[in-house]
A = this chain, B = another copy of it.
Amino acid sequence: MRLVTTAEQVSEPISSWDPYTRGCPSRDLLDQIGSKWAVLVLGELGRHGPCRFTQLRRQLAGVSEKMLTQTLRTLERDGLLRRTVYPEVPIRVEYELTPLGQTLRGPLKALTEWSVQHIEDVLEAREEYDERAGRR
């Protein structure tokens, strides 16, 4: 909890964490958790439970190793998932949601389902738009 230090120390948290403010950390966070690979990684860990690297790589068809690693690191750093190394031979690494990460499941699930449920409406809208633009 970030506090404002005043004489009396009866300060309030600076809760102007408004993403509509320029440079606010919550804006960047919003961007990060809404990014393509982060959404899919968190979604997969949410439904499936703990996953290994290669497993995730397969599930998120099309992701490069670089982007997967990068995404996992960022999410780990943000405290949304935990990385556990089992020093076996060959080595085994598992990723799983932290309690904080769990709280994101709902919102992300809603967003993902929306995109599946309404993709056809959107594709239709695009065709209409392009057609109208073509006539002009």
Contact residues of A with B, CB < 8 Å? Answer: 1-2, 13, 15, 17-23, 25-27, 29-31, 33-36, 39-40, 44, 59-62, 76-80, 100, 103-104, 106-108, 110-112, 114-116, 118-126, 128-130
Contact = CB atoms under 8 A, between A and B. Distances in A.
Nearest to A110: B107
Contacts of A118: 29, 100, 103
Contact of A19 (B27, B31, B40): B40
A19 B40 CA distance: 8
A26 B111 CA distance: 11
Contacts of A125: 77-79, 100
27 contacts: A1-B120, A13-B120, A17-B116, A17-B120, A20-B44, A20-B60, A20-B61, A22-B62, A23-B62, A25-B123, A27-B36, A29-B115, A29-B119, A31-B35, A33-B111, A33-B114, A34-B35, A77-B126, A77-B130, A79-B122, A79-B124, A80-B122, A100-B121, A100-B122, A100-B125, A104-B114, A106-B110
A126 B1 CA distance: 14
Classify the interface of chain A: helix, strand, loop or mixed.
helix
Nearest to A73: B129
